[in-house]
Amino acid sequence: MIEPVQLPSPWRDERLTVVVPTYNEANNLPTLVERLLALPLPGMSILIADDNSPDGTGDVADKLSAEHPDRIQVVHRPGKEGLGRAYVDGIGRALDGGARFVAQMDADLSHPPEALPGMLGALLSTQAGVVIGSRYVPGGQLDEAWPLYRRALSGWANLYVHTLLQVRIRDLTAGFKIWRADALREIGLERVQSNGYSFQVEMHYLATKLGQTIVEVPIRFEERRDGVSKMTTATKIESALMPFRLRTRHRNIAP
């Protein structure tokens, strides 16, 4: 576990909302929340968007919110509608709540919460619209336990999307990032239609089309220790088709 960067005031006090979509993450969520609340970021809050998890994740989230009412908000969604819809809902609520910065991260502990202060510092010290916690820039790492087929799939997906969309990001499918609120408003969540993991690609593509500066900083990506991956065959098919749809859907967008 890395040691979090100690940001100077007023940077550490910025209103940062961390949006965490959940589906069957009851065992991982308490650990994630504990690590997030331990960060030297007193202005940070957490928004958990649960898709009516059958394992009781929503109840776990409610309990955590009751223990930390000023820092944790829970959104109970009607059912499993996919990662993209959960993020659009959660990010929209964070913006409506006055967040100046919005982070995205998984609930399965694959993204190191301790990297968030450094990512926020990188965002505040640049003109970037978003900072990505990247597996594929120099210094980035993948957990040795990550299966070979997942490494191959991730590498192929990045190459495939790079070729079709010409987006200059090393980790195009990354789900760990911090956005400026203004950058998200410029993108317009109503434009985003992707549902599964291709949501990440669509957001990166829109940011690029709008001329936003994107910065990647290295992280170590961990293999989940509990639960199962949400990557399904349908998700893979959607991700394969999405670049073609994005080129058509957003062809008239320009800075």
* CATH number of the domain residue 82 falls in: 3.90.550.10
Contact present, 134 and 218 (Cβ < 8 Å): yes
In a domain, 6, yes or no: no
pLDDT tens digit string along 45-66? 999 999 999 999 999 999 999 9
What range defines the domain where residue 239 resides?
11-249
Rounded to whole angstroms, the Cα distance separating 50 from 35 reads 19
Write the CA distances from 108 to 93, 151, 199, 228, integer angstroms.
22, 17, 18, 9
pLDDT tens digit string along 100-140? 999 999 999 999 999 999 999 999 999 999 999 999 999 99
Total domains in the chain come to 1
In a domain, 2, yes or no: no
In a domain, 229, yes or no: yes
The pTM for the full model equals 0.90
Rounded to whole angstroms, the Cα distance separating 204 from 202 reads 5
Q: Which of 86, 97, 87 is nearest to 44 (CA)?
A: 97
Place of tokens 């210094």: 139
